[in-house]
Amino acid sequence: MSGRNCYVVSYDIMDQKRLQKVHRTMKGFGEPIHNSVFRCDLTAKGRVEMLAALTDLIKHDLDRVMIVDLGPSDGRVNQKIEFLGVHAMDPDSPQRAIIV
């Protein structure tokens, strides 16, 4: 086991400049899977670092960040995430739309 958990992080940032900063920061912690939604496979330390970075960037009275813990980052995590319509594929898979 890798000691990492998979997190889905979604955010609503009310200012364009802060939104861009949050997006750049999140790229350091995970992969974007949708507008303002990231998948992050993090150790406990990585999660604390992400929380600290986001805490410093957002305005707590205006912005909102949601963090969902999907559990251990193993093959079963992919079974917990469901898409309808077009979505990002596994980098090792050919790009194609999946319609459910």
Q: Which residue has the higher pLDDT, 100 or 54?
A: 54
**Residue 93 pLDDT > 50, yes or no?**
no
pLDDT given at position 39: 95
DSSP of 22-88: HHHHHHTT-EEEETTEEEEEE-HHHHHHHHHHHHHHS-TTT-EEEEEEEEE-STTHHHH----SS-P
> Which of the 8 DSSP states describes residue 1?
-
- Selected residue with higher pLDDT from 82 and 25: 25
Residue that wins the pLDDT comparison between 80 and 48? 48
How far is Cα 10 from Cα 28, in angstroms, rounded to an integer? 15
Could you give the C-alpha distances from 29 to 44, 50, 93, 97, in angstroms and in order? 12, 7, 22, 26
At 5-16, the pLDDT tens digits run: 999 999 999 999
Residue 36's region, left for phi above 0, alpha for psi from -120 to 50, else beta, is left
Provide the sign of the torsion angle of the four alpha carbons 43, 45, 48, 49, taken in this order: negative
Domains, in order of start, for the chain: 5-75 (3.30.70.240)
Q: What is the pLDDT of residue 87?
A: 63
